[in-house]
A and B are shown apart, each in its own frame.
Chain A
Amino acid sequence: MPDAPSPASIDVRNERVRACIDRYWRRNLRTMAALLVVWAVVGPGCGVLFADSLNEIRVGGFRLGFWFAQQGSIATFVLLILIYAVVMNRLDRQHRAELDALREDRGPA
Chain B
Amino acid sequence: MTVQSWTFVFVGLSFGLYLTIAWLSRVRDTRGFYVAGRGVPAAANGMATAADWMSAASFISMAGIISFLGYAGGVYLMGWTGGYVLLALLLAPYLRKFGHFTVPDFVGDRYESKVARAVAVACALFVSFTYVAGQMRGVGIVFSRFLEVDINVGVMIGMAIVFIYATLGGMKGITWTQVAQYWVLITAFLIPTIAISIKLTGQAMPQIGMGSPLLDGGVPLLDKLDQINADLGFARYTEAFVGKWDKLNVLCTTLALMVGTAGLPHVIVRFYTVKNVRAARWSGFWALLFISLLYLSAPATGAFARYFMIQSLHGKQAAELPTWFHNWERTGLIAWLDDGDGVVAYHGGARAAENEIFHRKSLGAQEFTTLRVEHQKWLGSSGAEGLDGRGRLRDLGFVGPDRDIIVLATPEMAELAAWIIALVAAGGLAAALSTASGLLLVISSSVAHDVYFRLLNPQASEARRLLVGRVVIGVAVVIAGLFGIFPPGFVSEVVAFAFGLAAASFFPALVLGIFSQRVGTVAATAGMVAGISFTAVYIVGARYFDMPLWCFGINPQGIGIVGMLLNFTVTVGLTPLCKPPSPAVQEMVERIREPEGAGPAVELEG
Interface of A with B (CB < 8 Å)?
1-4, 6-7, 9-10, 12, 21, 24-25, 28, 32, 35-36, 39, 43-44, 47-49, 51-52, 55, 59-63, 65-67, 69-71, 73-75, 77-78, 80-82, 84-85, 88-89, 92, 95-96, 99
Q: Is the CB of B292 within 8 A of A75?
A: yes
Q: Please give, as numbers and ranges, the residues of chain B lying within 8 Å of A9 by CB-CB distance.
A: 596-597, 599
List the 4 closest pairs (A to B, CB-CB), nearest first: A69-B74, A61-B220, A61-B211, A2-B584
User: B575 at interface (Cβ–Cβ under 8 A)?
Assistant: no
Q: Which of A2, A59, A69, A75 contacts B587 (CB 8 A)?
A: A2
List 13 other contacts, CB 8 Å, given A21-B594, A70-B74, A81-B89.
Answer: A2-B582, A24-B594, A36-B85, A44-B78, A47-B254, A61-B223, A66-B240, A70-B73, A73-B82, A74-B295, A78-B288, A85-B284, A99-B596
Q: A39-B85, A65-B240, A81-B285 are in contact. Are A70 and B254 (CB under 8 A)?
A: no
> What are 29 contact pairs spanning A and B, CB under 8 A?
A2-B582, A4-B604, A6-B591, A7-B598, A10-B596, A21-B590, A24-B594, A39-B82, A43-B254, A44-B82, A48-B74, A48-B251, A51-B241, A52-B247, A60-B220, A62-B222, A65-B240, A66-B74, A71-B207, A73-B74, A73-B81, A77-B82, A77-B292, A80-B89, A81-B88, A88-B93, A89-B278, A89-B281, A92-B595
Q: Please give, as numbers and ranges, the residues of chain B lying within 8 Å of A66 by CB-CB distance.
A: 71, 74, 222, 238, 240
Q: Please give, as numbers and ranges, the residues of chain B lying within 8 Å of A35 by CB-CB distance.
A: 85, 89
Q: Is the CB of B238 within 8 A of A55?
A: yes
Q: Which of B213, B282, B288 contacts A77 (CB 8 A)?
A: B288
Of A10, A71, A78, the most chain B CB neighbours within 10 A belong to: A78
B110's nearest neighbour on chain A, judged by CB, is: A2
Q: Is the CB of B606 within 8 A of A43?
A: no
Q: Looking at chain B's contact residues, is the secondary structure mostly helix, strand, loop, or mixed?
A: helix
Q: Is the CB of A44 within 8 A of B222?
A: no
A28's nearest neighbour on chain B, judged by CB, is: B593
Q: Is the CB of B78 within 8 A of A74?
A: yes
**Closest Cβ of chain A: how far from B73's Cβ, in Å?**
7
User: B255 at interface (Cβ–Cβ under 8 A)?
Assistant: yes
Q: Please give, as numbers and ranges, the residues of chain B lying within 8 Å of A36 by CB-CB distance.
A: 85, 89
Complex Cα–Cα for A47 and B603 (A): 45
Of A4, A84, A88, A92, the most chain B CB neighbours within 10 A belong to: A4
Q: Is the CB of A60 within 8 A of B211?
A: yes
Complex Cα–Cα for A59 and B238 (A): 13
**Closest Cβ of chain B: how far from A67's Cβ, in Å?**
8
Complex Cα–Cα for A38 and B241 (A): 23
Q: Which of A6, A82, A92 contacts B285 (CB 8 A)?
A: A82
**Closest Cβ of chain A: how far from B239's Cβ, in Å?**
7
Q: Is the CB of A77 within 8 A of B81?
A: yes
Q: Please give, as numbers and ranges, the residues of chain B lying within 8 Å of A63 by CB-CB distance.
A: 222, 238
Q: Please give, as numbers and ranges, the residues of chain A lying within 8 Å of B238 by CB-CB distance.
A: 55, 63, 65-66
Q: Please give, as numbers and ranges, the residues of chain A lying within 8 Å of B288 by CB-CB distance.
A: 77-78, 81
Complex Cα–Cα for A5 and B345 (A): 73
**Closest Cβ of chain A: how far from B206's Cβ, in Å?**
10
Q: Is the CB of A43 within 8 A of B78?
A: yes
Q: Please give, as numbers and ranges, the residues of chain A lying within 8 Å of B78 by CB-CB distance.
A: 43-44, 47-48, 69, 73-74
Complex Cα–Cα for A10 and B288 (A): 34
Of A1, A3, A99, the most chain B CB neighbours within 10 A belong to: A1
Q: Is the CB of B240 within 8 A of A70?
A: no
Q: Which of A32, A73, A75 contacts B89 (CB 8 A)?
A: A32
Q: Is the CB of B71 within 8 A of A80?
A: no
User: B21 at interface (Cβ–Cβ under 8 A)?
Assistant: no
Q: A66-B240, A74-B81, A89-B278 are in contact. Are A84 and B89 (CB under 8 A)?
A: yes
Q: Please give, as numbers and ranges, the residues of chain B lying within 8 Å of A48 by CB-CB distance.
A: 74, 78, 247, 250-251, 254
Q: Is the CB of A7 within 8 A of B599?
A: yes
1/0 contact string of B271-290 vs chain A (CB within 8 Å): 00000011001101100110
Q: Please give, as numbers and ranges, the residues of chain A lying within 8 Å of B598 by CB-CB distance.
A: 6-7, 10
Q: Which of B109, B112, B281 contacts A88 (CB 8 A)?
A: B281
A50's nearest neighbour on chain B, judged by CB, is: B240
**Closest Cβ of chain A: how far from B290's Cβ, in Å?**
10
Complex Cα–Cα for A84 and B109 (A): 28
**Closest Cβ of chain A: how far from B458's Cβ, in Å?**
12
Q: Please give, as numbers and ranges, the residues of chain A lying within 8 Å of B479 by CB-CB distance.
A: none
Complex Cα–Cα for A25 and B593 (A): 7
Complex Cα–Cα for A40 and B603 (A): 38
Q: Please give, as numbers and ranges, the residues of chain A lying within 8 Å of B587 by CB-CB distance.
A: 2, 6
Q: Please give, as numbers and ranges, the residues of chain B lying within 8 Å of A12 by CB-CB distance.
A: 590
